[in-house]
Amino acid sequence: MLEEMMSLVKIKAGKVQAKQKRLYDRTASPRTLTVGDQVLVLLPNLRKVTPMDYEIEMTGHRKEKRVYHVNILKKYYGPELSTTTS
């Protein structure tokens, strides 16, 4: 009896998880960064470790380099420099 319930729970959880993934994927857009891009933590990205993970240089920290998943990174766009003269 308990084994049957566990089996049903696993099946239902799998279906719910698949539905949540479909709903998320509808609006999610893939992010890609290039080496040297600054990310929201304002540190340059060193290299792409996997299609979804990037190594970030953390100067001044105990761990000089750390790997972050793309979901927690956002490309940083600094202020544009104005070249107008008065």
Q: Tell me, what's the pLDDT at 82?
A: 56
Q: Kindly provide the residue ranges of all beta strands, DSSP E only, lying in 1-86, ordered along the sequence.
A: 45-50, 53-57, 65-69
Q: Which two tokens stand for residue 79?
A: 């202020």
pLDDT for 27-52, tens place per residue? Answer: 888 778 888 887 766 566 678 888 88
pTM of the model: 0.45
Provide the edge-to-edge strand list for the sheet that holds 53-57. Answer: 45-50, 53-57, 65-69
Q: What is the rounded CA–CA span in Å between residue 86 and residue 84? A: 7
Q: What is the rounded CA–CA span in Å between residue 1 and residue 48? A: 49
